[in-house]
């Protein structure tokens, strides 16, 4: 559609897909997945999505709750088999899901801005499973008392990934593949190791201002994604995910309504279970999930009223949030 093409910046690098009522209105890749070799991005290119994976983990947890294997009030001290040190054993699944747990965050986004700084003293190539992140936070004190307030927390979702593993006996990404990705026919989605990437994965690029050149983020993020994020996916697969979710194929509509209801908030942000909520008017919220890492930016928005979905990812870390808002406005 010409009006969408007119909105997308000339040098945008990534992919965009827009649908209404499950019908694709627009889908296109832009720029390169491999800059030196000039391999084009397409709608089937697999992109890193950073924290977007938290939504997948939340869906997996809610499935286990529906199956009676967990409850929102289950406590981490009863579910994990390793020492928690100063971490409150009574933290609940609910508090992990809605970012009110107070668990020490290995990357506190309220005080730190550079994710790559984590790997100065702790090599990122060591992060191959969720448990590999434990040394970065497990012996630290609580940030605040559990349930006291909403504060976005990456460690909480690492723990949720480990809880999936504890309950199911599967690695969390294998469980998500079986119970979330495959049922939605998301065949191009998964958690891949950077030194074992499958075909059609995009490099993510960071701009070096001093050398005036781009370099890849392979030393700036975890070698493989964890419960906190790091899934690779395509915009086509993200559309399939929404279709499966909204049709009740992943969790019941009752559970989905709960996930899309405000479970925690502060002055600026509203959160459900694994998903952000944009306040449109009193008691009206639109769900979206997002991610940002060095060289990575992702957003996927759903408008329940217009049934419009907008999925955008950039492998140069561009401003996908403003672009998504512009596209949604032009389709209103």
The predicted pLDDT at position 147 comes to 97
Residue 114 has pLDDT above 90, yes or no: no
Q: Mean pLDDT, to the nearest integer, of 71-97?
A: 98
- What is the topology classification, in CATH, of domain 2-330? Beta-lactamase (3.40.710)
Q: What are phi and psi of 180, to 5 degrees?
A: -120, -55
Binned at pLDDT 50, 70 and 90, residue 112 comes out as low
Binned at pLDDT 50, 70 and 90, residue 93 comes out as very high
Per cent of the chain over pLDDT 70 is 98
Which of 94, 89, 28 is closest to 259 using CA atoms? 94
- Asked if 122 and 136 touch (Cβ cutoff 8 Å), the reply is yes
Contacts with 316 (C-beta within 8 Å, 6 or more apart), sequence order: 13, 14, 31, 204, 205, 207, 214, 295
* pTM: predicted TM-score of the whole model, two decimal places: 0.97
The DSSP element (H or E) to which 157 belongs, if any, is helix 154-168
Q: Rounded CA gap, 175 and 57, in Å?
A: 10
């Amino acid at each position: 559609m010409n009006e969408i093409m007119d909105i997308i910046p000339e040098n945008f690098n990534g992919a965009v897909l827009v649908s209404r009522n499950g019908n694709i209105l627009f889908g296109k890749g832009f720029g390169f997945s491999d800059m030196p070799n000039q391999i084009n991005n397409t709608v089937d290119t697999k992109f890193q999505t950073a924290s977007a994976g938290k939504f997948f983990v939340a869906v997996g947890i809610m499935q286990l709750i529906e199956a009676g294997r967990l409850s929102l009030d289950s406590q981490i001290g009863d579910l994990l088999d390793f020492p928690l040190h100063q971490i409150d054993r009574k933290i609940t699944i609910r508090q992990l899901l809605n970012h009110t747990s107070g668990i020490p965050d290995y990357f506190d986004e309220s005080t730190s801005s550079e994710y790559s700084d984590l790997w100065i003293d702790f090599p990122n190539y060591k992060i191959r499973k969720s448990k590999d992140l434990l040394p970065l936070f497990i012996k630290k004190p609580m940030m605040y008392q559990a349930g006291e307030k909403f504060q976005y927390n990456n460690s909480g979702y690492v723990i949720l990934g480990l809880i999936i593993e504890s309950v199911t006996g599967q690695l969390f990404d294998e469980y998500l593949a079986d119970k979330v990705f495959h049922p939605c026919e998301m065949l191009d989605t998964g958690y891949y190791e950077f030194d074992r990437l499958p075909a059609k994965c995009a490099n993510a690029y960071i701009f070096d201002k001093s050398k005036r050149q781009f370099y890849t983020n392979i030393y700036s993020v975890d070698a493989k994604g964890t419960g906190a994020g790091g899934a690779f996916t395509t915009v086509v697969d993200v559309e399939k995910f929404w279709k499966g979710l909204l049709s009740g194929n992943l969790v019941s509509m009752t559970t989905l309504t709960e996930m899309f209801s405000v479970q925690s908030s502060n002055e600026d942000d509203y959160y459900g279970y694994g998903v952000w909520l944009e306040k449109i008017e009193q008691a009206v919220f639109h769900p979206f999930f997002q991610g940002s890492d060095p060289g990575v930016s992702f957003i996927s928005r759903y408008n329940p009223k217009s049934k419009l979905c907008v999925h955008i990812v950039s492998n140069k870390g561009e401003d996908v949030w403003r672009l998504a808002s512009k596209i949604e406005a032009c389709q209103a």
